[in-house]
Amino acid sequence: MPRRSPREVRAAVPGGQSDGAVSTLLINACPGPPACTAVHTYLFVDGLDVITRSDSRMAGLDPRRLLRPGGPLYPTDMPCTVDVATQEHPEPGPDRLTILVRLRGETVTWSDLMYPGPDDGPIEEVRFRLKQYLSEVERAFAALQDGP
């Protein structure tokens, strides 16, 4: 069997993910009243809504809480468990959605995830380039400050 280059192997992985793949983060917020009862954070990893795909009963926490400078989504040398969503209407089952955020060199890792990826296979961990990650958190916080 002929050997394939790492690029070809990565391209052949369903959904474009591999163990060392780097993801892209996009953060958005709903506008709040009157469209919604409160302002919620949306976390998109590689175009997928992590919160809704993890547990459709959950709504993202207030972005002012998650995105503030030095806030819970900012990575540190010590791994940190971060609440990112909670149930809007209490039902049986877990009432919070948490992720483990850690920094290793120039890579931010989210783990303790469990949501279906593009191929419906489970996503348990994602990695981001530190520069893209911090730029997106800062962009989303600035957009929040600018208001509608």
Q: Within 13 Å, how many C-alpha atoms sit on residue 14's CB side?
A: 8
Using the structure block, give the residue that is written with the tokens 């795909």. Answer: 53
Q: Is the pLDDT of residue 105 over 60?
A: yes
List of residues 6+ apart from 34 with CB closer than 8 A: none
List of residues 6+ apart from 145 with CB closer than 8 A: none
Instruction: Give dist(CA 105, CA 65) in Å, integer.
Output: 25
Structure confidence at residue 148 (pLDDT): 53
Q: What is the pLDDT of residues 61-82, one digit of tens each?
A: 999 999 999 999 999 989 999 9
